[in-house]
Amino acid sequence: MLSTTEENYLKALLQLTLEQAEKGEAGTNELAAQLGVKPATANDMLKKLREKQLIHYEKYGKSSLTTEGKKRAIEVVRKHRLWETFLYEHLGFTWDEVHEVAEQLEHIQSSKLIDRLDQFLNYPSFDPHGDVIPTATGEMKIPAKKTLNEEEVGHHCKMVGVKDNSATFLQYVDKVGLRMNQPIRILSRQPYDELIEIEVNGQKSSVSPRFAENIVIVCNDCELQKKTD
Amino acid sequence: MLSTTEENYLKALLQLTLEQAEKGEAGTNELAAQLGVKPATANDMLKKLREKQLIHYEKYGKSSLTTEGKKRAIEVVRKHRLWETFLYEHLGFTWDEVHEVAEQLEHIQSSKLIDRLDQFLNYPSFDPHGDVIPTATGEMKIPAKKTLNEEEVGHHCKMVGVKDNSATFLQYVDKVGLRMNQPIRILSRQPYDELIEIEVNGQKSSVSPRFAENIVIVCNDCELQKKTD
DNA sequence: TATAAATGTTAGGCTAATCTAACAAAAATA
DNA sequence: TATTTTTGTTAGATTAGCCTAACATTTATA
């Protein structure tokens, strides 16, 4: 069984390697910074986790998770996000309060507990931040990316990127109230001029198809694709 | 802030001192046994907890909780029993499965979490084992003891003792299906012969007032008395 | 009450996780 | 390419919580 600390290292490594998808590996200093410890400390742990066959690591090289290590890391993420969902939906915690407590709850050891919690929450796909909750089998179902213009009326989604990086466009995005990862709801689509009415953080706006085409979103209500990775 | 280990020592000390109510203090070996550690280990911790003003302790003497120490210990017990209630009532854990997981959950640090959980559970007075859940202010409301004969129809209670210790009586108690701490429900009281119909673990029985007078119970539906202690 | 048994304490060691300081290697840059 | 900067490693120390072995005190009992 892994210690809380070991679990945190695996989780941090997963986060870093997913963020910088190009390489799928992370450096010692980077990992240390992520965890708020000194590089020397992280270095010791890297050797220990290699011994346990949970990571790939060589002296002066970058680190990455083994299949087993990734499985373990994903379990921790699953627990974290299920607890966040519970705190948010059932105990009335706010969006920003859930993380800190979930950091503790994610290390409770009981597979029965987490499976029952999943069931209690009705097998949610997303946590309150809009992040995907891995399934019991360790799959991270990834929602398909598309543009805001392609999204259906009534659906909930969130912005994960933009296609146009001009200052003019970005300022406009800001004015509409769009922020990365913030939930967006499609209220309506005017048949006359194709203007899309959206709601973001309580603020309603109408945007043109031209604008919407440059906003990359993931849909929370659409079918998810299984990702074996 | 206290470590998980420190909290466990305080909790163990509370349990020991409440069990043996005569003295309100416990020995080093006893405490060590309760926690599954060696006396030498417990001895170190006793000194540490005395430094923190959480216990009274003198070399070669018995230990007891200070006011602050008792407050902290009761907080842990409160968390433990609220989590047990959650696991039992909402996640479908059985009576005997809840303890182990609650041992972990009781150390999660977040007063907001535990207060919200209390609210979510609708401020329960008893955990699934029938033990009293301390209030947010650290009071342990103690249910009044009375005999089964004095209990009202419709109420739920549990046996906490007997007044008659004869073999005949105890065998009868056993036959009726009564066990210590097991929930009992009063179904009816016959006006004609005063026979009391009770239900225990799904089994219905009728008992005489003479019998009922010798069963000591605590009522789960009656008003609780505040215990300042 | 003298001795044996039970209980409690101290000293010294171990491991996990952390640190600082000094050093080594790799990468960036002048 | 030579040098500087960044990145990574090692050695040695610290703290919490645990251990064993030896010793001290208290309590029980012959």
- Three-class HEC string of chain A: CCCHHHHHHHHHHHHHHHHCCCCCCECHHHHHHHHCCCHHHHHHHHHHHHHCCCEECCCCCCEEECHHHHHHHHHHHHHHHHHHHHHHHHCCCCCCCHHHHHHHHCCCCCHHHHHHHHHHCCCCCECCCCCECCCCCCCCCEECEEEHHHCCCCCEEEEEEECCCCHHHHHHHHHHCCCCCCEEEEEEECCCCCCEEEEECCEEEEECHHHHCCEEEEECCCCEECCCC
For residue A24, what are its two tokens?
A: 């799928």
Helix (H, G, I), strand (E, B) or coil at B130: coil
For residue A119, what are its two tokens?
A: 């069931």
Say which nucleotide is closest to residue B29, CA to C1' distance.
C7
Q: Mean per-residue pLDDT for A19-26?
A: 76
Say which nucleotide is closest to residue B38, CA to C1' distance.
D19
CA B28, C1' C4: Å apart? 21
For residue A138, what are its two tokens?
A: 């360790």
User: Is the Cβ–Cβ distance between B212 and B149 less than 8 Å?
Assistant: yes
- From A120, which residue of chain B is nearest by alpha-carbon distance? B91
pLDDT at A224 over 80: no
Nucleotides of C under 7 A from a protein CB: 7-12, 16-22, 25-26
User: Is the Cβ–Cβ distance between B84 and B128 less than 8 Å?
Assistant: yes
Instruction: Provide the greatest CA pair distance for chain B.
Output: 65
Residue B226: count other Cβ atoms within 10 Å of its Cβ.
Answer: 11
Write out residues in chain B with pLDDT < 70, as ranges: 21-23, 181, 224-229
pLDDT band at A21 (very low <50, low <70, confident <90, very high): low
Q: Mean per-residue pLDDT for A62-83?
A: 97
Question: Which backbone phi and psi does B222 adopt, to 5 degrees?
Answer: -85, 165
pTM: 0.79
Kindly report which amino acid residue has its CA closest to the C1' atom of nucleotide C25. A60
CA B123, C1' C15: Å apart? 43
pLDDT at A121 over 70: yes
Q: What is the pLDDT of residue B224?
A: 63
- Please answer yes or no on whether A101 and B110 come within 8 Å at the CB atom: yes
Q: CA torsion angle for A106, A108, A113, A114 (degrees, to 10)?
A: 20
pLDDT band at A216 (very low <50, low <70, confident <90, very high): confident
Using a CB–CB cutoff of 8 Å, tell me whether B93 touches chain A.
yes
Q: What is the pLDDT of residue A127?
A: 86
- From A112, which residue of chain B is nearest by alpha-carbon distance? B93
Ranking A6-10, A51-55, A189-193 by mean pLDDT, the lowest is A189-193
For residue B109, what are its two tokens?
A: 């640090």
Q: Which residues of B touch A109 (CB under 8 A)?
A: 104
pLDDT band at A158 (very low <50, low <70, confident <90, very high): confident
Question: Which backbone phi and psi does B57 adopt, to 5 degrees?
Answer: -160, 135
**Is residue A45's beta carbon less than 7 angstroms from any atom in nucleic acid strand C?**
yes
CA distances to A133, B21, B161 from A139, rounded to whole Å, are: 9, 53, 53
CA distances to B146, B158, B171 from B163, rounded to whole Å, are: 11, 15, 14
pLDDT at A132 over 80: yes
- Listed in sequence order, the DSSP H helices in B52-196 are 67-90, 98-105, 111-120, 167-176
Report the residue from A92, A100, A120 with minimal CB separation from B116. Answer: A92
- Please answer yes or no on whether B93 and A108 come within 8 Å at the CB atom: no
A126-147 as b/e, with b when 16 or more CB fall inside 10 Å? Answer: bbbbbbbbbbeeeebeebeeeb
CA B38, C1' D18: Å apart? 9
CA A56, C1' C23: Å apart? 25
Ranking A1-15, A152-166, B97-111 by mean pLDDT, the lowest is A152-166
Using a CB–CB cutoff of 8 Å, tell me whether B110 touches chain A.
yes
For residue B125, what are its two tokens?
A: 């007075």
Say which nucleotide is closest to residue B5, CA to C1' distance.
D17
The CA-to-CA distance between both ends of chain A, in Å, stands at 23
> Distance between CA B127 and CA A112 in Å, rounded?
20
> Distance between CA B65 and CA B83 in Å, rounded?
24
For residue A167, what are its two tokens?
A: 């200052």
Cβ neighbours for B18, distance < 8 A, ≥ 6 positions apart: none
pLDDT band at A229 (very low <50, low <70, confident <90, very high): very low
Q: Mean per-residue pLDDT for A69-97?
A: 95
Using a CB–CB cutoff of 8 Å, tell me whether A101 touches chain B.
yes
Q: What is the pLDDT of residue A7?
A: 98
In tens, the pLDDT along B53-112 reads 999 999 999 999 999 999 999 999 999 999 999 999 999 998 789 999 999 999 999 999
Q: Which residues pair with A65 in a beta bridge?
A: A55
